[in-house]
Chains A and B, each alone.
Chain A
């Protein structure tokens, strides 16, 4: 074991759990791929699945800032809209074939949203305190008004004719499969990246800021830098989610990215548990599917959300998962923890 540590190889125990998780992911992916391909999952349902994965990206990325960094963000939908319009305008006007333009558009969406993240974050995060909530709230509203006022964004009429992600003439099932593949793997990528970030030294610094900013600074953590890093990273993924949304729906209506939507994403993160990635995933899945059962009660959706929030706050104020993570590999690790526990004790003496 010590040898492995010196060489910087992945410890065997970790490797096993990574392999298990990767295999599970692949099986899940293939399973739903087949179900969509053979029509068991219809277009309507696969559309909801797409929304679900987009919401996972939004919620997990928001959780990085609101959960791990501990700063309230009330304008996540604003960053999403920046990404959505960036990608849509790119695929509309770049002249590249869509199969090339779309992936470039996704990256571009993330980058532009991240740039906005820097512009918003630098003044807001240099200060100690909850300025970020107010400033992101303002940003979300301002960006919406700007989109409404501009011509090239389609203004209030919305941006129409965003190309589908496959060349024209592709059949509906292929399109569903392509969308599914994109959102599935991008959601996986988002989760893996944010998860890996959080457990690295950089993630520890971010969490330390949440716990006690003054003590973090006194422990040598460059708090402004890490706050900005986490915030910009979240903005990037919100932009990515936006690009997926734009090409999923095909039409962009600026009013979609309003304050309510930002709150909805925040709600998912809070319900899942601020500081729990798996909690965010569970909440995003649940709150995407739930409204489907509430068709006909559309007007009461926010009310129902509010009631759920109140119930959760009463019985489990830290959210579904608190700051804990659910993982199969974690269970595996717990089973073998006796061994490593004994090892550690031996080392201490």
Chain B
């Protein structure tokens, strides 16, 4: 086969093949079907929203995707490979990183260290090399510091690198959590209510940042958010959950006008 053709195929592959697929995903908590028959497929560099009323099962979907819970039914594939039964840290290594609804930073560590922890899995020097201060230690540490600072500067956090994470204002903590997730070098980024608690200016800025991240780091983004203008403004595709089931999915425009969705939100509130 000609090289050019091969490259073309690869190129096609890159854009068309879904990076993350969920099929018939379900989990039962003591009789409660928290998630049932959830399915979606996320393309490369796509920004998808997962929305729904409180308690719909959105965070649970994230927990299933990241191996925090093992699904009762269904299949999850990352780049065509099943990740079912893998541990959370393994899934992160394979390429799914996340943030948490309630910020979970390493509070007493520096901003820089928060990011460096997530880069640990890409580093190679052994514990012995670290203890003995072998060249590999100094080389990798220097490289990782540079990379971490670069990443922090994307979020305008470079001047806070030495601060303890807990001393950052709320909005910056949210940003740091995204930076930390990106530090794991993921293919898919899961954001659980990234705009929660942000003011309108911060929210608008966050929208730009997420788009920028997608373009710059070539990640697909799946995000949970209650702020509708945020969701409508940034997502290319939406999946709506209610009582653990998908009640609608499609473009923001389609979803917005879907009577089921309207009913769910009105009924939910």
Contacts and interface: CB of A to CB of B under 8 A. Distances in A.
Asked whether A and B interact, the reply is yes
Interface in B129-146: 130-144, 146
Contacts of B123: 201
Contact of B120 (A7, A201, A218, A323): A201
Given A212-B105, A212-B106, A202 B130 contact: yes
Given A5-B138, A348-B149, A348-B159, A217 B106 contact: no
Nearest to A233: B127
Given A212-B106, A344-B149, A218 B66 contact: yes
A197 B125 CA distance: 12
A220 interface: yes
Contacts of A196: 130-133
A10 B132 CA distance: 11
A188 to B, nearest CB: 14
A200 B104 contact: no
Given A218-B98, A219-B184, A347-B149, A8 B139 contact: yes
A214 B68 CA distance: 9
Contacts of A222: 87, 89
B174 interface: no
Given A208-B109, A218-B66, A7 B104 contact: no
Nearest to B164: A323
Contacts of B87: 217, 222
Contact of A218 (B97, B135, B144, B159): B97
B181 to A, nearest CB: 8
Interface stretch (B7-15, B110-118, B206-214): B110-118
Given A207-B106, A211-B109, A221 B121 contact: yes
A215 B98 CA distance: 9
B117 A229 contact: no
B120 A205 contact: yes
Nearest to A225: B89
Nearest to B177: A215
A344 B150 CA distance: 11
Contacts of B142: 5-6, 8
Contact of B127 (A217, A220, A221, A229): A229
Contacts of B106: 207-208, 211-212, 215-216
Contacts of A167: none
Nearest to A196: B131
Given A201-B120, A204-B113, A215 B105 contact: yes
Nearest to B142: A5
B254 interface: no
A8 B33 CA distance: 54
Contact of B131 (A5, A193, A221): A193
B190 to A, nearest CB: 9
A220 B139 contact: no
A220 B159 contact: no
Contact of B100 (A5, A215, A221): A215
A269 to B, nearest CB: 17
Contacts of B131: 193, 196-197, 200
B138 A9 contact: yes
B109 A220 contact: no
Interface string B73-101: 00000000000000111001100011010
Top 6 A-B pairs ranked by shortest CB distance?
A: A200-B130, A8-B135, A8-B139, A5-B142, A211-B106, A220-B121
Given A10-B138, A217-B89, A220-B92, 17 more contacts: A6-B139, A8-B134, A8-B135, A8-B138, A8-B139, A9-B138, A11-B138, A196-B130, A196-B132, A200-B130, A204-B120, A211-B107, A214-B68, A219-B97, A220-B97, A220-B120, A221-B121
